[in-house]
Chain A
């Protein structure tokens, strides 16, 4: 079932939590709502669920397929909702939690108790918790509780599944596992789902498309790949990963900042360049185009790449670079090593307000 939003905005008192937003989600899509806290992503999700009401303006519409649900009460919207803190009913067993939605249906449409039992067992099998059916939520781990919560939300075969920071309360390892498992489940059952997260890695890994939000506005809607390659603005660029800043003045095609120099193909004037850590190259000597002397202040060799923190007199904030283990060994990096950085690529978002296309340029080499 597709979801279409038209002119959906929200005020809490006088503060605007959400600027009027249009959003189309096609059937079977898995979409991530990504943004920092206070960006309005949870508010948007809760409006779609019917847990909050959007500002009552003439054009505001929420459509599930052809069904207009704008003024429908949450209990009649046929959505599945998964809460960050699971929100399981503590006094009910796992089985009763999953069965709840079925047992509160009006008597006429309610399945027989035998049917309910077999449906709940199928769901518990699906979330691999059939042996836990008679436990109470307090006896389960966080990850298990979240799976129960998901089974409960799916029991009514909802048109759309909405998840509010579903993995936010879990530790890193369980989060990884549940993420993969949700993707799998989504592909298998093919429901339309929308989830909220503040974790860019989670959003990029899990989603077909990502909606990046800030300050109650949609900044960009794109596939993870497009988003990373072509961020629409500085906010998206900065939010999607670590960023190094280089501020200086350009004169005759050379940006100068203290004793740092970088050849750039830009007009004269003050300039700010943004660089990704993996787009920095480290070398014992300066190149013809880049003279950026830095000093290593911290090294973290954990993971696929080595993270190196760099400082220099001409730098306001330290830079972060990631290098391969091979380069790490070749360069004999230790704390205090002095060497030169050279960007492979750099990005700039001149004058945000004019909404000019941002430029990402290959460095001259």
Chain B
């Protein structure tokens, strides 16, 4: 069946998953649902110790079994040691058919590939997958499906019970012996534990893993002992230099600076740019440069930001330190400056649910005026693809892309016209991950396109005459005039991955890549 973004979703997939095709952003708006409640194993005995001697004991006590679902967060990013550590133990125990429900997976988790090939891991649920696991899924080696959800969509999925986590493993920079967890302190400081809040709420068993046990109570706790079953102390939970690095040096690439300037001009010449506006941006060179040039104009015009939200970087923290933004709402700290800035009383930690869950009674993203995003591909319908490379291989993550894009009043996607020799502005994206109805403005190095549904923004930018305006089709045509129109990527029939929309409907499917025949 074709969905609202024109993607064919095979009926057998819809049937097998009990899902509907995507039917538009607000299809589930106001539709009531019952939140599932987890099984709780209460602790009343005051002699009970939550400390276990190793991961193995934790797994045994949590009744680890074949076919179970285990979950992890990705606050340690490419420095994460927890997923591999736990999965190795599960592998040693000979358990099979595991669903790995991580908030995101990266290159740090390449060692899991043999466990996919031998059937230990047969299903993956994540915001996205980078590195060798992505390639392994695309090659059809995962027995079951990979389900890719946005950060908000993941929280929804745990709340509705679509994802039932048997054991959640929460890496914590500090913990006490009763499971009060904090994202700061210790040797693997990551600042916040936002992605794990929902796992603490919904998983049957919750195991805290730390390399820094501190005296009780470790307060104020970011995840409370009331949700934690066991605490396991290990030598190291992460590689600090890969968790958060120094702030990215502002880019000197003129192409990125140009796109940043276009982006800033779009922001300051649209109606939401007024005192108290809200803003989210990413970690790319152009996004950071745009925040810096935006700051200059805010100062000139005496405009202050009401709140900044999402994954944060130094330029956003600088705004806070200089009194240019009232509060920051933090779900992820991307650099060391941000990690250390969380001590600022106006720098608040929020859960991924508060940030982006579409099945909340309203999430932070709904209050965004502007979000600046990137994309691997954007098509002439303004659909974005942030997960599947133009070679058809799973290589990225949805993250908060679809959540913020839908939530923000003005969603700006920065995307160079060409990624190497591949046109990034194209007729049809390889895979739809964020629907075009969420995307308002596309900024490229060749010009800026406004979604024709946003007459108001188009009018404002025309009047301001501040950026080279083009239609999205014109941008596509320029790209194709340079590279030629690429042939579509060839896939096998087998569906290996699902791109789930925020509301749990199916946005698109990812198919197995076709093997290249070197003789051809």
A and B: interacting chains: no
Q: B residues within 8 Å of A by Cβ?
A: none
